[in-house]
């Protein structure tokens, strides 16, 4: 699928929390670049104007402000459940995931049910402990997926594409196995893919956050390690 083609069968799901400084730019870039693309912003209770700005920019907004359980994982699940297109792309709202790669994602999704953005370089300055935790987490997760018969380099990526029906079937069977408060919805999904499912990986550089601060903290690391044993 080329950039001059219609993307009406593609929905971008963007989980957000206090991204008022980034979300307008991202939504407008997506709408300008990909004709017909659908955009759903799933906001997990922002205290700023994220929801208002996203709506004004042209995105459908799902507010989770009053929900009992909060987390990126459950936000993505609810976002994908609201999708009615064939393909879904999940990406962050902080401009660290390159929107230019969506064309390649969609092209590969036409031949493969799961496409994962794999970080080649991390352009932002991660502290040593963050880099070490990431490496350990990925190594343990890859071992867990090896048991399930899935091979993937960047299993904790927040940038991925999937056929809606594939995700729907997994959620119907394994919803209670997901670490809903966690951040690694891709990892939880990969664990339950049918054995032998083809996974394609798209390389990209993980960019600098345009504005705002990261929401990841130590409790999310705990959630991830807990998900290794589910």
How many domains are there within the chain? Answer: 1
**pTM for this structure?**
0.87
Is 167 contained in some domain? yes
Is 91 contained in some domain? yes
Averaged over successive runs of 10 residues, the pLDDT of the chain (230 residues) comes to 78 97 97 97 97 98 97 97 98 94 97 93 62 74 82 89 97 95 92 90 76 58 71
Domain that residue 103 falls in: 10-227
Is 3 contained in some domain? no
Enumerate long-range contacts of 193-198, CB under 8 Å, 24 or more apart: 193/114, 193/148, 193/150, 193/166, 195/148, 195/149, 196/149, 197/113, 197/114, 197/150, 197/166, 198/112, 198/113, 198/114
Q: What is the CATH number of the domain that holds 56?
A: 3.90.550.10
Is 221 contained in some domain? yes
Is 4 contained in some domain? no
Provide the pLDDT for residue 125: 61
């Amino acid at each position: 699928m080329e950039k001059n083609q219609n993307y009406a069968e593609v929905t971008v799901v963007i989980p957000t929390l206090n991204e008022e400084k980034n979300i307008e730019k991202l939504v407008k870039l997506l709408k300008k670049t990909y004709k017909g693309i659908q955009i759903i912003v799933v906001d997990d209770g922002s205290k700023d104007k994220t929801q208002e700005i996203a709506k004004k920019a042209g995105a459908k907004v799902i507010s989770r402000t009053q929900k009992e359980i909060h987390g990126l994982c459950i936000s993505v699940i609810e976002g994908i459940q609201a999708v009615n297109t064939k393909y879904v792309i999940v990406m962050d709202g902080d401009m660290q995931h390159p929107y230019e790669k969506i064309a390649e994602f969609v092209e590969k999704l036409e031949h493969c049910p799961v496409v994962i953005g794999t970080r080649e370089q991390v352009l932002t300055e991660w502290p040593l402990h963050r880099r070490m935790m990431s490496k350990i987490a990925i190594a343990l997760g890859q071992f867990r997926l090896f048991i399930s018969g899935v091979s993937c380099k960047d299993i904790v990526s927040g940038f991925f594409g999937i056929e809606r029906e594939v995700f729907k079937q997994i959620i119907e069977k394994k919803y209670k196995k997901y670490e809903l408060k966690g951040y690694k919805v891709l990892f939880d999904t990969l664990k339950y893919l049918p054995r032998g499912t083809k996974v394609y990986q798209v390389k990209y550089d993980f960019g600098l956050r345009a504005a705002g601060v990261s929401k990841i903290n130590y409790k999310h690391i705990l959630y991830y390690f807990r998900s290794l044993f589910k």
